[in-house]
Amino acid sequence: MAENDAPTENNVPSGDNSKPPENENEISIDALAKKVQESLSLSKRHKFWETQPVGQFKDLGDTSLPEGPIEQPTPLSEVKQEPYNLPGPYEWITCDLDSEEVCNEVYALLTNNYVEDDENMFRFNYSKEFLRWALRPPGYFRSWHIGVRVKSSKKLVAFITGIPAKIRVHDAVVLMAEVNFLCVHKKLRSKRLAPVMIKEVTRRVHLENIWQAAYTAGVVLPTPITTCQYWHRSLNPKKLIDVGFSRLGARMTMSRTIKLYKLPEQTATPGFRKMEPHDVPAVTRLLRNYLKQFVVAPDFDENDIEHWLLPKEDVIDSYLVESPETHEITDFCSFYTLPSSILGNQNHSILKAAYSYYNVATKTPLLQLMNDALIVAKKKDYDVFNALDVMQNETFLKELKFGPGDGKLHYYLYNYRLRHVLRPSELGLVLL
């Protein structure tokens, strides 16, 4: 879905093809970069990204380069004050997501034009409630919700967003923008709008004196800080097979498959319950403590936890374990809701997917905690539960019958260099 080599947030459910990884340790990013560079003719190399302050493939493995910002901030007075020029028929707008009408337009643009899987069978279907949640965290800037309209018809044809986030890299807490939802109408993909949109969101971020950003893409750009894989756990195997998301395994019947993925009716952990507003301080402590072990992770405070993790119907679900004896909050799990439209299927139009978000196990085994999360997701009629192999997720994926998908998600930092590529287990950050 990238327009030429602009980034997309491509974590579309790519189907559970349960192919073994090419090797257990994942192809190294150096090898991947080499492959990419060989496959791109000189004229096609990432023209746009080679002009940007991001890690470049040619510098991979050069440990003499310092870690941290690649370029120093410029004085705010020197940041370009007026927007970049768009091609003649188009104009910039700032999207006010409080407006029902604007929210509907953004929803329609994304629903019809955003990330699809390689076979064009599924496309993300972000709900309006989800978009408002994802784009209006504490301290957000409305000016970072950027749209492009056709001047004559006023039709919204492109969109890109940023939200502010405090992200810790090793010991440094850096104020960054998380850039997301880059979407250009299918009919305008040849217009080179995406690089202008990236430059414009960057300019608006700079105006707030923020000089770093984090983003993800399903394509390889210069240069990932890590590459993660999606894993899928069938909750409704019959439907997933019917719509082509998964396939019946060799020598497997439908009834054996249904039996294989069957979950208990009830959760197993005493004191497992839904998170409530009064739990915010305890969950904040638990999560902050847990995230310390990762090289790159968010630096959440109570306001962030309240926004990102308090349950919201069909947006975010959070559960915790409160010790029946001491009433201490010992464990926590969460998942967000991101359905996909099923394209061209007579019987089903929506795939209801849960995505693992932040999970912390201190007293309950992580395996048991996540099995309880699967049980509540199944009870709420989710078809599939997805998880990246970040943080400690790898320790439960195979055991809980997740299968590897065929999609990769690459994480990037803008204007910030890491000396070493991370393993997915060193990453404590989930971007929506």
Active-site residue 432, yes or no?
yes
Q: β-pairing, 172-184 with 212-217? A: parallel
Burial 231-256 (b: 16+ CB within 10 A, else e): bbbbbbbebbbbbebbeeeeeeeeee
Residue (of 313, 308, 305) closest to 281 by Cα position: 305
Whole-Å CA distances, 235 to 106, 232, 332, 365, 380:
30, 9, 21, 21, 10
Q: β-pairing, 212-217 with 272-274? A: unpaired
User: Which pLDDT score, from 0 to 100, does residue 34 have?
Assistant: 55
Question: Which 3-state string (H, E, C) describes 70-135?
Answer: CCCCCCHHHCCCCCCCCCCCEEEEECCCCCHHHHHHHHHHHHHHCCECCCCCEEECCCHHHHHHHH
Cβ–Cβ < 8 Å for 324, 288: no
Q: Which of 188, 397, 427, 432 is an active site residue?
A: 432
**Hey, where are the domains in the chain?**
49-222, 228-411+418-426
Q: In DSSP terms, which residues pair with 164 in a beta bridge?
A: 177
- Cα–Cα distance, 377 to 337 (Å, whole number): 10
Cβ–Cβ < 8 Å for 178, 184: no
Question: How buried is residue 24: exposed, middle or buried, by Cβ count under 10 Å (0-12/13-18/19+)?
Answer: exposed
Cβ–Cβ < 8 Å for 307, 301: no
Same CATH topology for 49-222 and 228-411+418-426: the answer is yes
Residue (of 177, 219, 196, 247) closest to 44 by Cα position: 219
pTM, entire model: 0.89
Q: Report residues of the chain scoring pLDDT below 70.
A: 1-45
Long-range pairs for 39-45 at CB < 8 Å and ≥24 separation? none
User: Which pLDDT score, from 0 to 100, does residue 383 have?
Assistant: 98
User: Which pLDDT score, from 0 to 100, does residue 189 have?
Assistant: 87
Q: What is the pLDDT of residues 58-113, one digit of tens each?
A: 888 788 888 999 999 999 999 999 999 999 999 999 999 999 999 999 999 999 99
Q: Which helix (H) or strand (E) holds 303?
A: helix 302-309
Q: Which CATH architecture has domain 49-222?
A: 3-Layer(aba) Sandwich (3.40)
DSSP 279: G
User: Which pLDDT score, from 0 to 100, does residue 28 have?
Assistant: 63
Q: β-pairing, 145-150 with 90-94? A: antiparallel
Amino acid at 320: L
Q: What is the pLDDT of residues 17-47, one digit of tens each?
A: 443 334 444 456 655 555 555 544 433 467 8
User: Which pLDDT score, from 0 to 100, does residue 21 have?
Assistant: 39
Annotation: CATH topology of 228-411+418-426? Aminopeptidase (3.40.630)
User: Which pLDDT score, from 0 to 100, does residue 37 have?
Assistant: 52
